[in-house]
Homo-oligomer: A and B are copies of this chain.
């Protein structure tokens, strides 16, 4: 068992990890930037270390300060949370070098999954279908048309060094392909310093469905069900839910088996998520990528199954191994998560850092709140805009939606705008109620969900 864990993160996930550690009797060391002195994770931890100024590059991303701090407090483990250094293979290796257990997969696993071409190859070897295309490999402009003809239009041109939707361009025919390829290369060069591009078949009518896995690092892997994260805006997940309400039992089983097969083939250690596109027209699924960390939306899985994923991460990292087997994973009811952000939904989601003059979180049956915020807390402008995650559970999806509406409507946040009004509007759309949407629906219908005020520059 780990004895003392440094949490290399901030915000709600730092609070989440501290709680899991304390339940296991593991001492906790928080780190914080000068801007986060008053954050809840600093207060809840057994010890807290200031690791630099507000800028993340000089604090939460500063591997030297983090490893130095861990050595100074004699921590035997580092939990990276999500974001920041969570998928930094070098940081995972540096922890090993410093004799500190990195709570997550090995640097090697992180690298394999970070390289799209390698990840696709490994998926294919594990028998997991991938989106038809150039298999993540860079394509010469001269070869483009040939590859596109082979996989069929429309196609997506993607930057090899890109991610999160940046540097993507659509081409519906050979003319568009030749036009957009040059632009894509130039943009990739400007954005990532690397002009390599690759091709993928474009799947227009799809859901984003991801499978939660836990691996023991020795080939033993279980899945903990799937989450549907198709409600997205600018490739950011807005609402997550589980189970996916639009797939058949066969497709669901296929997803689960594929995720386990891929993870087992790389002796995956810890919590991970295998992301898929589910083609609603073809009733087929394709591997997109694997996230080698705990995810923002992990509570959806936790309230559905009763499995504490962060606890399992810590047990695996500490050598106890995971506490459950596949047969112990039992799903019940329906879960939905809304990310409440300090953003003004009516003004193009403009960030709205500032002080929470009044703050009363919802509670009661089936309502879970993961947050680092409290009355009087100032949301700083330097990091992401998340105020809280609200996760509701109910016996069925309709009740879960009604419960989420009630929780959001009773959430008192005064002092700064939040995305609560937007979420309330979104939950009431026919598309969401009936689950008739795909990954592009929100982007196309955002004006109908919540009319945007014209911005005065």
- A contacts, CB < 8 Å to B: 15-16, 19-20, 22-25, 40, 43-44, 299, 302-303, 306, 308, 310, 330, 332-333, 358-371, 374-376, 393-395, 399, 402-403, 405-406, 409-410, 412
Answer whether A25 and B402 are a contact pair too, CB < 8 Å, given A43-B412, A306-B333.
yes
The residue on B at minimum CB distance from A303 is B365
Could you list some 11 contacts between A and B, CB below 8 A?
A: A20-B365, A22-B410, A23-B399, A23-B405, A302-B365, A306-B332, A358-B374, A361-B361, A361-B363, A363-B371, A367-B368
A393 to B305, CA, bound (A): 12
A16 to B306, CA, bound (A): 23
Answer whether A374 and B375 are a contact pair too, CB < 8 Å, given A308-B365, A364-B15, A368-B364.
yes
A412 to B42, CA, bound (A): 13
A362 to B16, CA, bound (A): 11
CB distance from A335 to the nearest CB of B (A): 11
CB distance from A349 to the nearest CB of B (A): 25
The residue on B at minimum CB distance from A21 is B406
Q: Which of A15, A22, A332 has the most CB of B within 10 A?
A: A22
Residue from the list B19, B43, B333, B403 in contact with A364, Cβ < 8 A: B19
CB distance from A47 to the nearest CB of B (A): 15
The residue on B at minimum CB distance from A333 is B306
Residue from the list B44, B333, B402 in contact with A23, Cβ < 8 A: B402
CB distance from A16 to the nearest CB of B (A): 6
Report chain B residues within 8 Å CB of A367: 368
A19 to B330, CA, bound (A): 28
A393 to B306, CA, bound (A): 9
Contact B375 A23 (CB under 8 A): no
Answer whether A409 and B299 are a contact pair too, CB < 8 Å, given A368-B363, A374-B375, A375-B375.
no
Contact B375 A376 (CB under 8 A): yes
Report chain B residues within 8 Å CB of A409: 22
Report chain B residues within 8 Å CB of A306: 332-333, 366, 393, 395
CB distance from A79 to the nearest CB of B (A): 15
Q: Which of A16, A19, A371, A402 has the most CB of B within 10 A?
A: A19
CB distance from A333 to the nearest CB of B (A): 6
The residue on B at minimum CB distance from A403 is B23
The quantity of this chain's copies bound in the complex is 2
A332 to B333, CA, bound (A): 13
CB distance from A1 to the nearest CB of B (A): 13
CB distance from A27 to the nearest CB of B (A): 13
A201 to B360, CA, bound (A): 49
A299 to B23, CA, bound (A): 22
Report chain B residues within 8 Å CB of A43: 412
Residue from the list B24, B370, B395, B405 in contact with A363, Cβ < 8 A: B370
A15 to B367, CA, bound (A): 14
Report chain B residues within 8 Å CB of A20: 365
Contact A23 B369 (CB under 8 A): no
Contact A375 B402 (CB under 8 A): no
CB distance from A60 to the nearest CB of B (A): 21
CB distance from A284 to the nearest CB of B (A): 34
A373 to B49, CA, bound (A): 32
9 closest cross-chain pairs (CB), A and B: A375-B375, A360-B374, A22-B406, A363-B369, A23-B402, A19-B364, A23-B406, A302-B365, A44-B410
The residue on B at minimum CB distance from A388 is B363
Contact A365 B365 (CB under 8 A): no
Known pairs A19-B362, A375-B375. 15 more at Cβ < 8 A? A15-B364, A19-B365, A20-B365, A25-B402, A299-B365, A303-B365, A306-B366, A308-B365, A310-B365, A358-B376, A360-B374, A361-B363, A363-B371, A368-B368, A374-B412
The residue on B at minimum CB distance from A23 is B402
A370 to B365, CA, bound (A): 8
